[in-house]
Amino acid sequence: MLLDGRQQGFECGTVAAKRDLFDQLYRYVRGLPTEEQLRAFVRDLSGRYHVDIMEFCKELCMDWSELATLAGDPLVTIGAHTVNHVMLAKVPERTARAEMAMSRAVIEASLGQRPDHLSYPVGDNTSAGPREFRMAEELGFKTAVTTRPGVLFPEHRDHLTALPRISLNGEHQQLRYVRVLLSGAATAMWNGFRKVDAA
Ligand SMILES: [Zn+2]
């Protein structure tokens, strides 16, 4: 495949090798400077290996009627997450603002609930920073979460659009691990015992 501007071949005969290649490619696309380059790379790769992206979406993503059922549960709060899942810090301010505002408008129109909360796509420092925190506030979101790991402290009241998030991604799904994460012990180590990371 074309990687870093040159044709490269990869060995992926075993599951371990496949995972390893996936990690390499993931790091590569995440490091690309713009959203367009990232999308072009994934489209090209999918086309080349006959992967139908739309089929994946149909199989894996909920449709509006399923979302409406979910939203009807009293324990569920639907939040906004942009329209195109763009890494907001990598696009012009106008685009980022439109992505946030539009996603809320579409959800409100479809589910009849106006989301008060936002989560930044991808959500690390390269995807959401002070500009996005300010925009979310200006747009009237009550809270917005990053994927910067951490738990809540009283000091976060001054940074409600830069909240940390505990990621449950299938690697920590045993309840006892989740409890450790929620205790803040693991993320305190990770953050060097600094409480708020909102810069
Ligand atoms: Zn996402």
Give the β-pairing of 143-145 and 117-119.
Answer: parallel
Which residues have C-beta within 8 Å of that of residue 191, sequence separation ≥ 6? 149, 150, 197
Alpha carbon of 39 to ligand 1 centroid (Å): 15
Alpha carbon of 176 to ligand 1 centroid (Å): 25
Name the maximum alpha-carbon separation found in the chain. 53
Alpha carbon of 121 to ligand 1 centroid (Å): 5
Spell out which residues have Cβ within 5 A of ligand 1, the ion.
121
What's the residue count for the chain? 199
Residue 190, helix vs strand vs coil: helix
Alpha carbon of 26 to ligand 1 centroid (Å): 15
Over the stretch 137-185, which tens digit does the pLDDT of each residue have? 999 999 999 998 888 889 999 999 999 988 776 665 677 777 777 777 7
pTM of the model: 0.80
Alpha carbon of 119 to ligand 1 centroid (Å): 8
Over the stretch 69-114, which tens digit does the pLDDT of each residue have? 999 999 999 999 999 999 999 999 999 999 999 999 999 999 999 9
Alpha carbon of 186 to ligand 1 centroid (Å): 23
For the chain, domain boundaries:
2-58, 62-190
Alpha carbon of 7 to ligand 1 centroid (Å): 30
What's the whole-number mean pLDDT along residues 123-146? 96
Q: Which fold has domain 62-190?
A: TIM Barrel (3.20.20)
Q: Is a pLDDT exceeding 60 seen at residue 1?
A: yes
